[in-house]
Each structure stands twice: as C-alpha cells, then as structure tokens.
Amino acid sequence: DVVMTQSPLSLPVTLGQPASISCRSSQSLVYSDGNTYLSWFQQRPGQSPRRLIYKVSNWDSGVPDRFSGSGSGTDFTLEISRVEAEDVGIYYCMQATHWPITFGQGTRVEIK
C-alpha cells in the first residue's frame, strides 16, 4: 500500500498568517493517464470531511482561494495564505492513484 506521510501533525497558527502542510507518498502518484490523483480534505470539529483540492491543485466548488495545492510525483503541499478562524480542523491528504486508496495521518490546524 502507498504510505502517505504528513507533516507537521500539529500546526498552531496566528490568525491572518500563512500555513503550510506537507504530504509525501511512498511512491509516485502519477497515474498511467498522466494525472496525479492527490486530494486534500478538511475536517472541521464534529463534521464530516470535505474535499478542498483534487488532482494536486484544482479547487472544489466553493473553496476559498486562500487554499492552494501544489507538488508533483511524491511531494505535495497544501497552503493557506491567511488563516481564518473557520479553518480550524484536521487536514488530510489522500491518494487515489493506486489501490487501495490511502490517507495521510492528518494535520491538526489550531489558532495560537
């Protein structure tokens, strides 16, 4: 199975400041069709996960543009340009290039 490793696991951030979460996969996530099936999910306290980003850098509908995704191959990053109070929660990366689908351990974003 592809192992997804996120860092840091806990991220205290000051409101209005940027935040960055890293996700590394144990093998390349480039599929045979040339696409990279790496997504990012946000799970707010007490809620179900919500997808923010798909195929590395594409926003889902309604996702604020302060969120951005980047990376390639085995190294990926989710960035929040200016953290707002509503961004508190746990963020997960997920790969769907290889079966089975696997998730990172999650990164808890909290306000300092």
Partner 1 sequence: EVQLLESGGGLVQPGGSLRLSCAASGFTFSVYAMNWVRQAPGKGLDWVSGITGSGGTTYYADSVKGRFTISRDNSKNTLYLQMNSLGADDTAVYYCTKADSQGIHYWGQGTLVTVSS
The residue ranges that bind partner 1 (CB under 8 A) are: 37, 39, 41, 48-51, 54-55, 58, 60, 90, 92, 94-96, 99-106
Distance CA 56, CA 25 (A): 13
* 55 or 66: CB nearest partner 1: 55
Question: Helix/strand/coil (H, E, C) string of the chain?
Answer: CCCEEEECCEEEECCCCCEEEEEEECCCCECCCCCECEEEEEECCCCCCEEEEECCCEECCCCCCCEEEEEECCEEEEEECCCCHHHCEEEEEEECCCCCCEECCCEEEEEC
* 15 or 101: CB nearest partner 1: 101
Shortest distance in whole angstroms from residue 81 CB to partner 1? 23
Shortest distance in whole angstroms from residue 77 CB to partner 1? 18
* 42 or 74: CB nearest partner 1: 42
Shortest distance in whole angstroms from residue 48 CB to partner 1? 4
* 7 or 103: CB nearest partner 1: 103
